[in-house]
Amino acid sequence: MRALRDGGVTRLSLGIQQLNDDVLRRSGRIHLVADAQRAYQMVRHVGFDQVNVDLMVGMPGETETNFCR
């Protein structure tokens, strides 16, 4: 990440997709919420001020309640 920042990259995008581990598992994703949180913290620690987070709506197992949570 430092090499990207030092090379002139000013913004990163993280494909977190969902902030619910059960929904991530049901969708066959290999990452969990804690992994996404760690990645975001690393990106910020390295010095990126602009970070995009991609979230998906309507994934298998998602409900209105767990989405709002």
- The pLDDT tens digits for 12-67 are 999 999 999 999 999 999 999 999 999 999 999 999 989 999 998 889 989 888 88
Domain annotation covers residue 69:
no
Domain annotation covers residue 63:
no
Pairing of strands 11-17, 50-55: parallel
pLDDT at 69: 82
Residue 9 has pLDDT above 90, yes or no: yes
Cα 35 from Cα 42, distance rounded (Å): 11
Domain annotation covers residue 64:
no
Cα 8 from Cα 66, distance rounded (Å): 38
Domain annotation covers residue 45:
yes
What's the structural domain count of the chain?
Answer: 1
Domain annotation covers residue 23:
yes
Distance in angstroms between the alpha carbons of the first and the last residue of the chain? 30
Beta strand ranges found along the chain (DSSP E): 11-17, 50-55
The residue among 23, 4, 26 whose CA lies nearest residue 14 is 4
pLDDT at 67: 84
pTM of the model: 0.82
